Amino acid sequence: MERRAYAIQAEHLVKVYGQGRTRVEVLKGVNLAMRGGELWALMGPSGSGKTTLLTILGLVTEPTQGRLCIDGEDIYGGKRPDLARLRREKTGFVFQSPNLIPFLTAQENVLLPLSLIGARRQAARARVMQLLESLEVAERADLYPNQLSGGEKQRIAIARALANSPKLIMADEPTASLDAGRALGVMHLLRQAARKHDTAVLVVTHDHRLLGEVDHVTRIMDGRIVDVPDAPPTPDHRRLATASAGRPGGRPARS
């Protein structure tokens, strides 16, 4: 099978807030690499650094240290990056609350990121309708957010995140306010979106029932990624785990 390129590679990301007595090291050397088409879950207790990591990967926050490549581009490797532009072109966000603009229709909400990157109006409209169709909300295109259900709004928010064909989508607890059925539906849509648009999608979730949809689960504890094997532990796995205990970086490189 053809190997997809890395959409994102993060090496030793460190994030420190404050200084002196208020100094907190929120991320303590995070490494991860995701390929286009992959859906990953990010799990971890409250305060462990999930949102901080997402905002760094999504180019909203600058890391204190470390290397970040998106779509092969070393973001902080050269001269000062134009983060606002890179963010508009390369990343998309889905939040717990859909955050749609109330005075724009569903269609106009999805169109907005395309307007920001100066897409041609006709091509942009066609893309928006195609996205709304693929998320099965095309018939809601002309409605305003207050006329949509929670699940529909979240679909529109996913369409908006996909609008600029980003290499990377961050979703911060997008299913937290949905019932179990709708939550699974949204996770399934994110998986389809990843596959279909060759985008890497990283989703923060606390819901173990949704993990069947994801390609990989990564866990963060106190600012560090902790190793979790993809397969459920078998006696052999446990012996391996014991043998490799203490080895830094635990998880073997993905081949």
The residue whose two tokens read 């995701």 is 34
Q: According to the binding rule CB under 5 A, does residue 154 interact with Mg ion? A: no
SS3 state at 147: helix
Gap between the Cα atoms of 129 and 127, Å rounded: 6
SS3 state at 74: strand
Q: CA-CA distances (angstroms) from residue 182 to 15, 106, 179, 186?
A: 34, 19, 5, 6
SS3 state at 243: helix
The pairing of beta strand 224-226 with beta strand 6-17 = unpaired
What sign does the dihedral 232-207-47-31 (CA atoms) show?
Answer: positive
Q: According to the binding rule CB under 5 A, does residue 51 interact with Mg ion? A: yes
Find the shortest distance in angstroms from Cβ 117 to Mg ion. Answer: 27
Gap between the Cα atoms of 156 and 139, Å rounded: 12
- Taking CB under 6 A as the criterion, the residue among 9, 50, 56, 140 binding ligand ADP is 50
Residues comprising the chain, all counted: 255
- The residue (of 195 and 206) whose beta carbon lies closer to ligand ADP is 206
| Site map 6..25 versus ligand ADP, x via CB under 6 A | -----------xx-----x-
- Taking CB under 6 A as the criterion, the residue among 37, 38, 41, 48 binding ligand ADP is 48
Find the shortest distance in angstroms from Cβ 210 to ligand ADP. Answer: 17
Find the shortest distance in angstroms from Cβ 177 to ligand ADP. Answer: 16
- Taking CB under 6 A as the criterion, the residue among 4, 5, 12, 47 binding ligand ADP is 47
- The residue (of 48 and 199) whose beta carbon lies closer to ligand ADP is 48
Give residues in contact with Mg ion (CB under 5 A).
50-51
Binding residues (CB under 6 A) for ligand ADP: these are: 17-18, 24, 26, 44, 46-52
